[in-house]
Structure 1
Amino acid sequence: MEKALIIGASGGIGGALTKALQARGAAVTGLSRSADGLDVTDEDSVKAALADLTGPYDLIVVASGALEIDGAEPEKTLKTLEPKAFLDQIALNALGPALVLKHAIRLVPRDQPAVFAALSARVGSIGDNRLGGWYSYRAAKTALNQLMHSAAIELARTHKQLCVACLHPGTVATPFTEKYLGRHPAVPPDQAAANLLQVIDGLTPAQTGRFYDWAGKAVPW
């Protein structure tokens, strides 16, 4: 039986991933801030939340994150860049998943295939950035991509069958994105989860350290 750990399981995508995995018979452990008090920006909180878990987990997904933190909206102009908002984004969207990986790696098998996936965003791609703006959120996702890429290189030496990947789920209709959808097409969380799982199911160790969108296409760094 597949065994999965979902961080951010109370969110739109995290909850949908949990349900989709359970529907196909997986044993799923879900952790979140609202249900379990897990604060991924606090290392003690991460360490405590993972301490009682026993592996191995075939799949670990970090689906936590936010576009707005404490009411700070994505910046439309450099003039609105604020240090606290920037650092809050880095803490939640970049450092958080890295701390989870740091303390969850003991739960990952060394002798069988496994996937650690962090939900990133296409706006974190430097090569794909043609609109500017959204300074803090973009920078945080870019930092996340670098952290996961570096970790993938290191962990390939000890966990040869592990794939560490950054995944862009597409535009998903959740409270996370509600204010920003505008005319952009969005998919419901259950469809996003199905798309992501199809990509995850196809990941191999040869693809570790890479960045893919919901359709399995590589996203430029």
Structure 2
Amino acid sequence: MKRVLIIGASGGIGSALAGACAERDVEVTGLSRSRDGFDITDEASVADHLGALDGPFDAVIVATGALEIDGAEPEKTIRAIRQKAMLDQFALNAVGPALVLAHVQDLLPRESRSVVAVLSARVGSIGDNRIGGWISYRSAKAAVNQIVHTAAIELARTHKKAVCVALHPGTVATPFTEKYLGRHPAVAPDEAAGNLLAVMDGLKVEDSGGFFDYAGKVVAW
């Protein structure tokens, strides 16, 4: 991997990924709202920023996302669903990555291996859901898994060596999660970044369209 594009490069995991890639002498191009005015929820912003880039990139990582948006916390019960909060979750965690994937073919090499990784979450797994709650966030992540799977099918038609996957980074100790860690074990962003890059390094073309965790294990849909 010689060149990587990181969407959400100023966030906890995104910045750690950028640092880990730089340590590998990988050329990093980063986009974020705070540094570049990149708004993944705005179609024109995505098109303008990605259209201005010079590819190809060996890897594209979408590391954006949020558990809370405008102070709306994950729901403890479906009775707590509010329309705006749910739509905001879908805009950021599902539609945003879809907008990036709409442009990703133009950023990848056609003749060599490439990886497109979208950070998802295990709570987006329908098969693994045993306790309920967090409906909006779960649903948005389940949606992005479907988006990634579909994009992988289409990408394979033009980029035979491309791998497009959803990745669960584990519970990472960042401002994103600090209110929700509780007794759950968490890893530092640098460790999470190393884990994710190791998984990406080991992916094969036949893995495209899959959903994997930080150890490279398949996560149930």
Amino acid at match of 2:53: L
Q: 1:84 deviation in Å?
A: 0.6
Matches within 5 A, 1:108-187: 108-187=108-187
Identity rate, percent: 66
Runs of 4+ in structure 1 deviating by more than 3 angstroms, as ranges, are: none
Matches within 5 A, 1:19-30: 19-30=19-30
The 2-side partners of 1:18 and 1:131 are apart by 34
TM-score for the superposition, normalised by structure 1: 0.99
Q: 1:193 deviation in Å?
A: 0.2
Where 1:5 maps in the other structure, the secondary structure is strand
The 2-side partners of 1:207 and 1:104 are apart by 18
Q: 1:103 deviation in Å?
A: 1.6
2:207 equivalent in structure 1: 207
Amino acid at match of 2:212: Y
The 2-side partners of 1:158 and 1:29 are apart by 24
Where 1:147 maps in the other structure, the secondary structure is helix
The 2-side partners of 1:200 and 1:170 are apart by 15
Where 1:218 maps in the other structure, the secondary structure is coil
Q: 1:101 deviation in Å?
A: 1.2
5+ residue gaps, structure 1, are: none
The 2-side partners of 1:208 and 1:51 are apart by 24
Number of residues of Structure 1 aligned to a counterpart in Structure 2: 221
Residue 44 (structure 1) aligned with residue 47 (structure 2): no
2:70 equivalent in structure 1: 70
The 1-side partners of 2:53 and 2:203 are apart by 24
The 1-side partners of 2:137 and 2:201 are apart by 28
TM-score for the superposition, normalised by structure 2: 0.99
Amino acid at match of 1:120: S
Where 1:14 maps in the other structure, the secondary structure is helix
Q: 1:155 deviation in Å?
A: 1.1
Matches within 5 A, 1:11-22: 11-22=11-22
Q: 1:105 deviation in Å?
A: 1.8
1:198 equivalent in structure 2: 198
Where 2:117 maps in the other structure, the secondary structure is strand
Q: 1:104 deviation in Å?
A: 2.6
The 1-side partners of 2:180 and 2:105 are apart by 35
